[in-house]
Structure 1
């Protein structure tokens, strides 16, 4: 893994994470940690979509990310899609520690198989956990666990109704309530957004595939990131 720093705009920095292995498979361990200092603005993304490859029986890939936001800091955590392949096995965790007045825009897009290749996830494992704490106190905790015939599980009407992609977006900032109506105006019928508490907006979008997901997601991320969506998202 390496990190590339494109030319920074005034008052902000962008970092692009590059997985030089080309993907994640069983036994791999990736860990990344970033800290935004007091009053700084940091945007983090990936060079391309992450791919989770077929794993050997009993093996699991591990992805651990940690973000720390000092007072007055703003962080946009905007990786591109993670694509689950047939036979993949991955455990991923994201931990965020925020100061009282820090601001966070977070997105984790997920694609269930390579639709263009007709791939169906009948055997895959994906465990995901997001923990956000403000001043050490839990602000947002979310866990997802998919094992075995993922496609059959997602096909259930009360689960995902056959969706091939989804994204979780969290916006933690003092102006969250003022952003809610504009975010909802961009949502498709297969999505929802809620103000969980003062200063915390969360939304989830289900889509048929990654293309449809991006069609809905890019305008929302552009709005929530104050027009600082990283260039890799536009390629």
Structure 2
């Protein structure tokens, strides 16, 4: 993926939002079990909850069917002290052609003392002409554990879809004690095939993902993760307790085949049902 300076997707200030969604969800520990503490949803944002004994599993649904110019989607998730919260999506999110401005997605996560939060959205499908500005901000307690995956696919090869032009801006920042421990900025704009063809970007691949693990198991997980990665992937320790992984794939199916065992290893648990191949 292409690292970029502090850049913001262009938008039409006069464009009215086509769709808006707001979701807040939180978990807590009660009698030794993680349970739902709070839930608020508005607009096109909804959350479903699956039966899971070891965590609260929130499945985010965008009832508008996808993202396009002018859309606004905001998510806030909090794993309370000693609880375990898994946030995923019902299906792959779709960024469609934009005729006016950019869609904006903002996600804010909080992981309390001794808590675990797994941020595992399914892949983002970027369509030709899409314009998306996405940001993820995470605040982690010193004793917490955090697992993240952000898969992105440009076009669906099996459907004969290609992406000639798009504007995709993505920022991720993870803080612990108000100190940044991980930051990533991506800007893929304009002629997407030319950008993806660059060896330092994607070497012609159209599917990519970043994964992150923060916690005390990072060092022991590193050799296990490396053993699961193809030649187009890599993993390393940024800090003794921060493991970062990148992987490229020819298409979304190949990407998911790699990600599923890696994410199960990182989270030390079965993936959400919506992720299963």
Give the Å deviation of 1:151.
1.2
Aligned twin of 1:51:
94
- Deviations for 1:73-122, whole angstroms, at most 9, x for unmatched residues? 10110000000000000000000000011100100000011212322222
Name the counterpart of 1:13.
56
Residue of structure 2 in register with 1:91 after alignment: 133
Matching of residue 4 in structure 1 with residue 80 in structure 2? no
**Partner Cα separation in structure 1 for residue 69 and residue 158 of structure 2:** 24
Q: Partners of 2:213 and 2:231 in 1: how far apart?
A: 20
Out of 112, 115, 119, the residue aligned to residue 157 of structure 2 is: 115
1:214 to 2:256 alignment: yes
Would you say the 8 A contact 2:156–2:252 is kept in 1? no
- Aligned to 1:107, the other structure's residue is in SS state strand
Aligned to 2:247, what secondary structure does the other structure show?
Answer: strand
Identify the match of residue 101 of structure 1 among 143, 159, 164.
143
Output one character per residue of 1:33-67: Cα deviation in whole Å (capped at 9) or x when no partner. Answer: 0111100000110000000000014x100000000
Partners of 1:188 and 1:231 in 2: CA distance: 24
2:221 match: 179
Task: Report the counterpart of residue 153 of structure 1 in structure 2.
Answer: 195
With structure 1 as the length reference, what TM-score do the two structures score?
0.97
Distance 1:12 1:188 in 2: 30
Q: 2:84 aligns with which of 41, 44, 57?
A: 41
Which secondary structure state, in structure 2, belongs to the residue aligned with residue 228 of structure 1?
A: coil
| CA distance in structure 1 between the aligned counterparts of 2:271 and 2:58, rounded to whole angstroms | 12
Structure 2 residue corresponding to 1:197, chosen from 213, 236, 239? 239
Q: Which segments of 5 or more consecutive residues in structure 1 lack a partner in the other structure?
A: none
CA distance in 2, matches of 1:182, 1:8: 26
3-state secondary structure, aligned to 1:105: strand
Cα distance in 2 for partners of 1:136, 1:115 equals 42
Normalising by structure 2, we get a TM-score of 0.82
1:133 aligns with 2:175: yes
For residues 157 and 89 of structure 2, what CA distance do their matches in structure 1 show? Answer: 21
User: What is the CA-CA distance between 1:12 and the residue it aligns to?
Assistant: 1.5
What SS is found at the alignment partner of 1:218? helix
Aligned-pair Cα RMSD in Å: 0.9
- Which of 17, 20, 30 is equivalent to 2:73? 30
Q: Runs of 4 or more off by more than 6 Å in structure 1?
A: none
Q: Distance in 2 between matches of 1:2 and 1:157?
A: 39
Secondary structure of 2:50's counterpart equals coil
Q: Secondary structure at the match of 2:196?
A: helix
Deviation at 1:18, TM superposition (A): 0.4
